[in-house]
Amino acid sequence: MSFPKGFLWGGAVAANQIEGAWNEDGKGWSVEDVVTFKPKVDVKDYKANVHTSLEGVKAAMADPDPTYYAKRRGIDFYHHYKEDLALFAEMGFKVFRLSIAWSRLFPTGEETEPNEKGIAFYEDVLREMNRLGIEPLVTLSHYEMPLELALKYNGWADRRVIGLFVRFCEVCFRRFGKYVKYWLNFNEIDSLIRHSFTTAGIIPELCGERGELACCYQAAHNQFVAGAMVTKLLRELVPGAQMGLMLTKLTTYPHTCAPEDVAATQKKNLENFFYADVQVFGEYPRLILRDLEKRGLTPEMEPGDLELIRAHTVDFVSFSYYNSSTESVDPNVERVPGNTILGVKNPYLPSSEWGWQIDPVGLRISLIELYDRYRKPLFVVENGLGMRDTVEPDGSIHDPYRVDYFRAHFREMEKAIDAGVELMGYTSWAPIDLVSANTNQMSKRYGFIYVDQDDLGQGTLERRRKDSFYWYQKVIATNGENM
């Protein structure tokens, strides 16, 4: 079987990694604007670039040196969006996933009226996409919240942030609803346990006696409640629109068939599913509640929270998939990085320079697992390969490794579809080179389109088509027949 008619092929980005213009037209500070770039960061240390202390955040706010704050520059999509959207249209995109920077609409998060200049920017972008026939897929929260809310409330650990987020979403639905059918609430919602500052604005020293982890689970609960409220609101304000959840699919295999390794793997996978379970089934899994209780991490819930979560579940399940890993109870096995995780090295898989283990079959396994568990349409909203690219003297960029990566993953998607999985679409991460989330490097490139900018922000910002650009164009034109 091949890809279904109307399959949504496209690409995905996040505001904080592309827009730049971090303080233009009334935009406020976001948590990502104080995230530093450190040139020789250890690939295993995905938190190395993130300030997790109040002192660090304040020092970053006082530091004008643009060299260390790559996210403040992005790839200047703010001023290049027409050119970039035209390139996506040239590739034949049916869909483009982007996020709305909360701090562009509500600079401190607490204004009573939104910043009209921020709204105008997104209206222009969405109108242009509409004109080009590209369906928007909008993430409401992608590693970006007004920094003020982190400093004042400790981010999502405080319930008061729920109402502020709902107000932001209401503005998005009212002003952008006519252009947007598909919405995602929280990007990689499970990741707040792994990088709580960028995902949820949590500053550990503000967490008090219960500690950072308790704060994180409280933040997760607050996001579940906010997610349910926002889904309810979307259904009231934009009839026919759909809300999806977004999970980091941390596909984990037992390192060996020793039952203890299998049990440890099972535990890890259940933790990963937890964040989707709540949003699809409308209730906390009993095993997770028990585990949180034993560890003294049960979040505080208010009357009515669980009813809300039960009543407003999501329409579809989206996820990111970059790599798989394995789990072992043996403390001496080698651990390697993946997307915000450290897993045990799988001897059967190759790794990228950043250590992420490439596993196309794992995508098929993930699709089948998620569909069998949730029986909801699925959407692969992130998948791609970060690599260094070389620009040849004639300006061309040959990236057969990227084509190989995508082709292998697409073949596995086909097999999952053939097995009966309902797959709505696929957005590659990322169709254009951008600032990497974990390392803040430019040189970890994902795009079909090259951007002339280095890790220190030097370059003309010129866009160039890589070989993979033409390949993806052909894939989309033939709906996956010709890879």
Nearest Cα to Cα of residue 444 among 363, 380, 352, 344: 352
State the residue number with the nearest CB to ligand BG6. 438
Q: How far apart are the first and last CA of the chain?
A: 15
Among the candidate windows 19-27, 236-244, 435-443, 464-472, which touches ligand BG6 by CB under 6 A?
A: 435-443
Name the token pair of 301: 């819930």
- CB nearer to ligand BG6: pick between 187 and 242: 187
Name the token pair of 256: 């060996």
Query: According to CB under 6 A, which one of 199, 252, 326, 439 is a site residue for ligand BG6?
Result: 439
428 binds ligand BG6 (CB under 6 A): no
Whole-number Å distance between alpha carbons of 187 and 194: 13
- Find the binding residues for ligand BG6 in span 121-150 (CB under 6 A): 143
Nearest Cα to Cα of residue 366 among 247, 192, 193, 238: 247
Please report, to the nearest 10 degrees, the dihedral formed by the alpha carbons of residues 397, 400, 402, 408 taken in order.
Answer: 160
Q: Helix/strand/coil (H, E, C) string of 342-355?
A: EEECCCCCCECCCC
Query: According to CB under 6 A, which one of 32, 382, 389, 433 is a site residue for ligand BG6?
Result: 382
- CB nearer to ligand BG6: pick between 135 and 382: 382
Query: According to CB under 6 A, which one of 115, 154, 187, 324 is a site residue for ligand BG6?
Result: 187
Question: What x/- string results for residues 3 through 42 when contact with ligand BG6 is judged by CB under 6 A?
Answer: -----------x--x-------------------------
Query: According to CB under 6 A, which one of 141, 272, 313, 438 is a site residue for ligand BG6?
Result: 438
Query: According to CB under 6 A, which one of 320, 323, 352, 357 is a site residue for ligand BG6?
Result: 320
39 DSSP assignment = T
User: Angle 83-120-80 (CA atoms, 0-180°, nearest 5)?
Assistant: 15
Nearest Cα to Cα of residue 241 among 186, 187, 189, 176: 176
Q: How far is the CB of 79 from ligand BG6 (least distance, A)?
A: 21
189 DSSP assignment = G
Name the token pair of 241: 């629109």
Whole-number Å distance between alpha carbons of 414 and 425: 12
Query: According to CB under 6 A, which one of 49, 313, 326, 436 is a site residue for ligand BG6?
Result: 436
Please confirm whether the linkage preceding 21 is cis (ω < 30° from 0).
no
Question: What x/- string results for residues 271 through 310 when contact with ligand BG6 is judged by CB under 6 A?
Answer: ----------------------------------------
User: Catalytic residue positions?
Assistant: 188, 382
β-strand partners of 135:
95
Question: What x/- string results for residues 334 through 373 when contact with ligand BG6 is judged by CB under 6 A?
Answer: -----xx---------------------------------
Q: How far is the CB of 16 from ligand BG6 (least distance, A)?
A: 8
Query: According to CB under 6 A, which one of 409, 444, 445, 463 is a site residue for ligand BG6?
Result: 444
Whole-number Å distance between alpha carbons of 437 and 435: 6
Q: How far is the CB of 224 from ligand BG6 (least distance, A)?
A: 19
The site for ligand BG6 (CB under 6 A) is made up of: 14, 17, 143, 187-188, 320, 339-340, 382, 386, 429, 436-439, 444
